[in-house]
Amino acid sequence: MIAETEMKLLVLGQREFGGLVETVPGLAAKLLPGLARRLREVDASAFRY
């Protein structure tokens, strides 16, 4: 992945990420569609071979 503009990244450990998801309820709703898409892609590729 290559960013088109400068950006700052925040690296979170599992514990910090879990706390963030609990603290910001809308975050889970924004993450779930992307995670579901990625899971479908991996699932589909597993059955191609």
For residue 38, being part of any structural domain is answered with: yes
The stretch 35-44 carries a mean pLDDT of 92
Containing structural domain, residue 41: 25-49
pLDDT digits (tens, 9 = 90+) for 19-35: 999 999 899 999 999 99
- pTM score: 0.58
What does the chain look like in DSSP terms, one character per residue?
Answer: ---SS--------HHHHHHHHHH-HHHHHHHHHHHHHHHHHHHHHHHH-
For residue 41, being part of any structural domain is answered with: yes
- What pLDDT sits at residue 37? 95
pLDDT digits (tens, 9 = 90+) for 1-23: 788 999 999 999 999 999 999 99
For residue 10, being part of any structural domain is answered with: no
For residue 44, being part of any structural domain is answered with: yes
pLDDT band (50, 70, 90) for residue 49: low
Task: Specify the number of domains making up the chain.
Answer: 1
For residue 4, being part of any structural domain is answered with: no
